[in-house]
Amino acid sequence: MSDEDIEDVDLLVVGDGKAGKSLAMDRAKAGWRVVMVERDKIGGTCINVACIPTKTLVGSARTLLTARDAAERGVEISGEPAVDLDRLRAHVEGVVGGMVSAHAKMFADSGMDFILGTARFVGERTVEIRTNDGTTRVVRGRDVVVNTGTTPAVPALPGVTEAEVWNSETILHLERLPETLLIIGGGYVGCEFASMFAVFGTRVTLLQGRDQLLPREDPDVAGQVADILTDQGVDVHLGARASAVRREPGHGDVVVTLADGSSVRAQELLVATGRTPVTADLGLDTAGVELTKRGFVAVDNHLRTTADHVWAAGDVAGSPQFTHASWNDFRILRANLTGRDATTTGRLVPYTVFITPELARVGLTETEARAQGHDVKVARLQVSAIPRAKTLDDTVGTWKAVVDAETGQILGAALLGHNAGEVIAAVQMAILGRMPYQQVRNAVITHPTMGEGLNLLFDALDQGAPRRKEPAGQAPPDGNRD
């Protein structure tokens, strides 16, 4: 093709995930010529088939739990609270649809050229776009960002494709709430759906091939999560490796055969075994962009690929698979594209697992801290000791923090309990500010709030021990909590 057939722009973004769409809008508003192409999800995975719809469902499940417990809290509700599937579906679709519409407007208002279509690299920094309206365009960017994300992985299980099973996206169609549900995979996604559907009234069986749920967590934390799911009615099987899948005739039950020869069955099966990068059909080799052994785009700590002026961000670049990590990728890219210098090195990425109650994590686990050679002290607090939890009658869970014994620096925390995802931000700020735990312990935090539990958590480190000299400007705690 000749140069006359190519549209030249300042920035070409392939995929409208959080990093890509944020950068495209930002640079378009700054006066750059920007083209962004997206295959099928306006606004990206998060708002269409991940964070937003799933957390909307989690909110509905928690509302159902609250309604069931209303009488114990002095509130009369006539009839047994139950899920109305049509209204539940409409609620989720309304939330998602509203955000999709808002994104379409934001894209237009920014001044970018937003194209719905499929892009494939045909040269350096150049893609051919087959648009959804049947036309073809060839666009070359002075800078290019690959932001195509990931898609649910399909495990190499005999029969899994033919059995028409669910993944973490198709389950959100909410065609029905099955009476029974099998879930393969005890990671974050599997645990979230297990908790949610158990609350909705489905009998859930969770199959985890490893010897604990949530393998990235400390064993004691993962064990508590397993206990909570069990209390919600989930039948948790650890060390249960699936070897084959089949569906009985007439769209009957799904039967999963395990490695030990036994089998389990349910009306539906959710496969939650991770996600795989969307790179296979992009023609990245033509653009000089190399992939890792796992198929992700290879990037350095500036998010540069192996091709000049081609960058990658978000899940497809191997960043932590959280929207907030992708948003930070946007900030790094914006800095690097505008003459500054920013890297991913040393960034602190928290996350929350939206089971009920939720598990929030930041920094090092106890296992990781010890493996790195830290002499650690571990603080633990039962959520039932926090006054706010008592007022809410929501006292399930345990908080845990890991502290360097010599310096008092907070290395990490795992908070399992009500609103843990909100409280973890305070711990993150303390770590970023290199505050010794004593400053958090002595901080005057509003009563009664869940955040106040941080006073109690770090107070537990010094119970029965001689009090060391307090950091400058900090008064010792009074030790009283109602």
CA separation for the pair 346, 328 (Å, rounded): 13
Other C-beta atoms closer than 10 Å to the C-beta of 228 total: 20
The angle subtended at Cα 112 by Cα 107 and Cα 117, nearest 5°, is: 80
Sheet containing strand 254-258, strands side by side: 242-247, 254-258, 263-266
| Catalytic residue from among 103, 237, 418, 447 | 447
Which residue type is seen at 332? Answer: I
Cβ proximity of 9 and 36 under 8 Å: no
The full 3-state SS of 302-323, as one line of letters, equals CCECCCCCEEECHHHHCCCCCH
Query: 298, 1 in Cβ contact below 8 A?
Result: no
Close Cβ partners of 416 (under 8 Å, ≥ 6 residues apart): 221, 224, 225, 228, 357, 358, 359, 360, 383, 397, 398, 399, 400
Catalytic residue list contains 302: no
Query: Strand 254-258 vs strand 263-266: parallel, antiparallel, or unpaired?
Result: antiparallel
Give the other-Cβ count within 10 Å of 36's Cβ. 27
Pairing of strands 358-363, 351-353: antiparallel
* Beta bridge mates, 151: 276
Are the beta carbons of 9 and 28 closer than 8 angstroms? Answer: no
Tokens 């967590």, residue located: 217
d(CA 419, CA 396): 11
Point out the residues that are catalytic: 447
